[in-house]
Chain A
Amino acid sequence: GNSVTQMEGPVTLSEEAFLTINCTYTATGYPSLFWYVQYPGEGLQLLLKATKADDKGSNKGFEATYRKETTSFHLEKGSVQVSDSAVYFCALRPGAGSYQLTFGKGTKLSVIP
């Protein structure tokens, strides 16, 4: 079946530090990959996505590249801010004909001034 594994948290970083949150997946076919973010007191919202191998998704300074050879979609940001403190979820959609998302367990990020 489909599954997503992401690094355990919580992760605590100082402001302006480099962020990497690892995500690997198992899926048949050609899934689409997503990062969702959940800020405190808010609903989940899409951060970025990639729909095919070697695509790079980017938004708000965050980036992730769809690596089919390593079945990975690691999230990176060069310089985090306090406002980036949130829970980050990696997710996959199995194919264009499917509407179900499979999520990882989430990684809580805390950025301290």
Chain B
Amino acid sequence: ETGVTQSPTHLIKTRGQQVTLRCSSQSGHNTVSWYQQALGQGPQFIFQYYREEENGRGNFPPRFSGLQFPNYSSELNVNALELDDSALYLCASSPGQGILNTGELFFGEGSRLTVL
């Protein structure tokens, strides 16, 4: 069983640029969520996708956007990068909605973004 994989693992951007991060969910999982983890902090929920639609969003501005594809993989896009966007971005998948949702998330190792 393949776990959650993310790419790239590390990247450096400059302020004002745009970035795309990618995530492949664990086999059989149709729900993907993204979290931002600043240094020394716990992960903060950005948004969640289920069946290619966003079905939950945290307190992040619209320049954070995402996509989910028919194979359940996902992208996180961040426009107009700011210095405070420097963080570890975590993708997590889960096996479903309703009674299948036990609340357990399966995390990737993250993409570390540095904005200069």
Contacts and interface: CB of A to CB of B under 8 A. Distances in A.
A58 interface: no
Q: Is the interface of B mostly helix, strand, loop or mixed?
A: loop
Size range of the chain B interface in the assembly: 20 to 34
A51 B4 contact: no
B113 to A, nearest CB: 16
B43 A34 contact: no
Interface in A67-113: 89, 91, 93, 96, 98-106
Interface string A35-68: 0100001111110010100000000000000000
A70 to B, nearest CB: 21
Size range of the chain A interface in the assembly: 20 to 34
Interface of B: 3-4, 31, 33, 35, 40-45, 48, 55-56, 58, 90, 92, 94, 97, 101-110
Given A34-B104, A43-B107, 12 more contacts: A43-B3, A43-B4, A43-B108, A44-B90, A44-B107, A46-B104, A99-B33, A100-B45, A101-B43, A101-B45, A101-B105, A103-B42
